[in-house]
Amino acid sequence: MSERTKMIAGNWKMHKTLAEARQLAREIVQGVGRETRVEVVLAPPYTALAAAAAEISGSNVKLCAQDTFWEEKGAFTGAIAPGMLADVGCTYVIVGHSERRQHFGDDDEAVNRKVHAVLAAGLKPIMCVGETLGEREDGKTFAVVETQVLNGLAGFPVSEHERLVIAYEPVWAIGTGKTATPGQAQEVHHLIRNLLADTLGTADIRILYGGSVTPDNAATLMAEPDLDGALVGGASLKAASFLGIIAATR
């Protein structure tokens, strides 16, 4: 039996005013209660991190940033350093989300730098990987995911493996309503777990699935042996659907 605690993380992306963020965080804290069976994580936009931190204070819900820069400080207008994210109360930082790769030019080298910077600040990276539709159709899914995992984790200190979370998010499933089947997800999660065992010497690392997870499909996805939780976009924007996913997670 695996002892990995399942994680449900809500990625709010570029949504929510301060008032909306406070209300959503409050509703989630109330709905989650004393839940410890599932680790619940919220990733608001930077502007709402402090407000969300205040709402979740004293609860089991954890705070996460959606991205970071890798430098500690300096003349980098518009950027946010990992130390600032620790200061505002984050525990986790999403790194390498496909929208960052697609719209902001984050390549594997940038992802790798960010992973190391997150560790250096005492935080935990949630590193995202996943193939595009074209790559899947060309039979390149495993090769693409393998490259992203190995490059993203280059030089990752084996002793820090407990702080690492991987999110497998097929790009064609993100925000499209097209979820990977449990079998498709499990196959890639298993590959990733084997890669982690080979490179870090342990398979005991949480691997989340992301891409159109809803309260309706969460239970069958989470039943797969190598799925340790979900990174949720659209369905994390309303307390009812996010709490529904948590409730469906065993």
Which residue has the CB atom at the shortest distance from ligand PGA?
233
Residue 25 as a binder of ligand PGA (CB under 6 A): the answer is no
Least spacing, CB of residue 178 vs ligand PGA, in Å: 9
Which residue in the set 210, 224, 242, 246 belongs to the binding site for ligand PGA (CB under 6 A)?
210
- Long-range contacts of range 80-84, CB-CB < 8 Å, 24 or more positions apart? 80/46, 81/117, 81/121, 82/117, 82/118, 82/120, 82/121, 82/123, 83/121
Give 179 or 186: the residue with its C-beta nearer to ligand PGA. 179
Tell me the CB-side half-sphere exposure of residue 49, using CA atoms within 13 A.
21
Give 111 or 203: the residue with its C-beta nearer to ligand PGA. 111
Residue 44 as a binder of ligand PGA (CB under 6 A): the answer is no
- How many residues bind ligand PGA, per CB under 6 A? 13
Interface map 149-188 toward ligand PGA (x if CB under 6 A): --------------------x----xx-------------
* Distance spanning both ends of the chain, measured CA to CA: 13
Tell me the CB-side half-sphere exposure of residue 193, using CA atoms within 13 A.
19
Inter-CA distances, 107 with 22, 98, 131, Å: 33, 10, 14
Pairwise CA distance, residues 6 & 215, whole Å: 15
Determine the interface stretch with ligand PGA among 31-39, 60-68, 190-198, 227-235 (rule: CB under 6 A). 227-235
Which residue in the set 141, 212, 241, 249 belongs to the binding site for ligand PGA (CB under 6 A)?
212
**Is 161 marked active-site?**
no
Helix (H) or strand (E) holding 17: none
From 55, 169, 189, 224, active-site residue: 169
Inter-CA distances, 143 with 140, 148, 208, 242, Å: 5, 9, 19, 32
Where along the sequence are the contacts to ligand PGA (CB under 6 A)?
Answer: 11, 169, 174-175, 210-213, 231-235
Which residues form the catalytic set? Answer: 97, 169
